[in-house]
Amino acid sequence: METSGRSKVDSNKRSQYLDLLRIMAIFMVLYNHYSVYNFFLIRGKDDWIGVFSMVLSILSKCGPPLFFMISGALLLGKEESFAHIFTHRILRFLIVMALCTLWSCWRNLNVTDIVTVFTRKLNWYLYAYLAFLLLLPLMRILARGMDRKVRRWYILTCILLGAANGCLVYAEQSFSVFSYTAPLASAWGSAGWHMIFPLLGYVLSTPAPEEANGTAPRGEGGKQLAAMFFLAAASIACSVLLMRLDIQNSQAAHIEQLRQHFVVAPACFVFLACRKLEKFLPEIPLLPVISGCTFGIFLLDVNTEWRGRIYNFFDKMMGETVGMFGTSLLAIAVEAVAFGFLIWAVKKIFPPARKLL
């Protein structure tokens, strides 16, 4: 029996729960990019529908964290030289960023800003993921050095510091230490996600050394899932409460950060629940196909105007009947299917694109 802390994530068998998580995460990201993300603000009524909309907006914030967690689960257990990381991961990602830059400059008919676009004006996730790749050798050392107790400490500390930061944001206060604790928390919620969530993904996807060699207490998995559910529910409840107070007292000035800082526990619960449910999932051949298109769907969503055009089309057709909420959900589904099919077709027709998308 292995004692290195690796799981079936590292084996040749593809993990269905990671494919399922990718698909869930891209829908969360798309929801986050539509106006329905702030439906409770646009609607302007503080009732159960508004609260439900807040909960959905908090859950949709789990999209990028889940993508980082998947990367941590897949990459932090690997053995690779930095030369391999650079040529097979960093260089490919830089090519994607370069292509996005050229597309943006061509679309805006402005080639003079090509350096500025490449270094500052692409979607934030691309810069954060590139930083994760650069930090990969160090993060692997951190991840592999965690035993069962350190893992518990790390999960709980990330959740509590995130919640504490959220409370400080609502009170319009700050604690300077959060500017220096990137692997645990960050003053601006998403600024530390490229370190926090890959480590959490590795911790939640691989057995600790004690679990791998059979010395850990039995029943740990069920207790861990129950505890994570409680922490996720408490985080969402606190976030909703502070968001409602922020709308009443500060004209929603801190809404975005209140969602970001309380997202750690919900993201961990979604990840862990999918991992636990994998053994009950039947073999679904389409899952890896759809999952393999999610990064391309994201790139099309943030680098084209098609999202707005799809929404406007359905808004004109049925907006008065189903309202903004229904129109947005329909547009998200159509966008995901259309973009997914386009990316799948590109990969089929032009196989080298598989290494980039």
At residue 150, the pLDDT reads: 94
Asked if residue 260 is part of any domain, the answer here is yes
At residue 1, the pLDDT reads: 32
DSSP string, 297-316: HHHHHHHSSHHHHHHHHHHH
Handedness of CA 62, 63, 65, 71 (dihedral sign): positive
Whole-number Å distance between alpha carbons of 320 and 327: 9
At residue 189, the pLDDT reads: 86
Whole-number Å distance between alpha carbons of 3 and 206: 11
Whole-number Å distance between alpha carbons of 10 and 139: 17
Averages of pLDDT over runs of 10 residues in the chain (357 residues) are: 40 82 98 94 87 96 98 95 95 97 90 92 97 96 91 96 95 90 89 96 84 62 89 97 94 94 97 92 92 97 96 94 94 97 96 90
Asked if residue 132 is part of any domain, the answer here is yes
Whole-number Å distance between alpha carbons of 350 and 185: 41
Task: Please say whether the beta carbons of 200 and 158 come within 8 A.
Answer: yes
Nearest to 73, CA basis, from 204, 207, 209: 204
**What distance lies between CA 326 and its chain's CA centroid?**
24
Which residue carries 């010395």 as its tokens? 215
Burial class (CB in 10 A: 0-12, 13-18, 19+), 3: middle
Asked if residue 44 is part of any domain, the answer here is yes
Burial class (CB in 10 A: 0-12, 13-18, 19+), 322: middle
At residue 6, the pLDDT reads: 41
At residue 10, the pLDDT reads: 45
Say how many C-beta atoms besides its own lie within 10 A of residue 258's C-beta: 28
Q: Which residues span the domain enclosing 75?
A: 26-281
CA dist list (Å): 156 to 60, 164, 201, 265: 22, 12, 14, 9
Nearest to 189, CA basis, from 201, 202, 178: 178
Residue type for 45, please?
K
Asked if residue 41 is part of any domain, the answer here is yes
Task: Please say whether the beta carbons of 128 and 161 come within 8 A.
Answer: no
At residue 9, the pLDDT reads: 53
Tally the domains of the chain.
Answer: 1
Nearest to 72, CA basis, from 261, 170, 206: 206
Cα angle 209, 267, 180 (rounded to 5 degrees) comes to 80
**Residues contacting 227, CB < 8 A, separation 6+:** none
Asked if residue 98 is part of any domain, the answer here is yes
Task: Please say whether the beta carbons of 28 and 62 come within 8 A.
Answer: yes
Whole-number Å distance between alpha carbons of 21 and 232: 17
Whole-number Å distance between alpha carbons of 339 and 296: 8
Asked if residue 231 is part of any domain, the answer here is yes
Asked if residue 33 is part of any domain, the answer here is yes
Whole-number Å distance between alpha carbons of 213 and 306: 51
Asked if residue 17 is part of any domain, the answer here is no
Helix (H) / strand (E) containing 156: helix 148-170
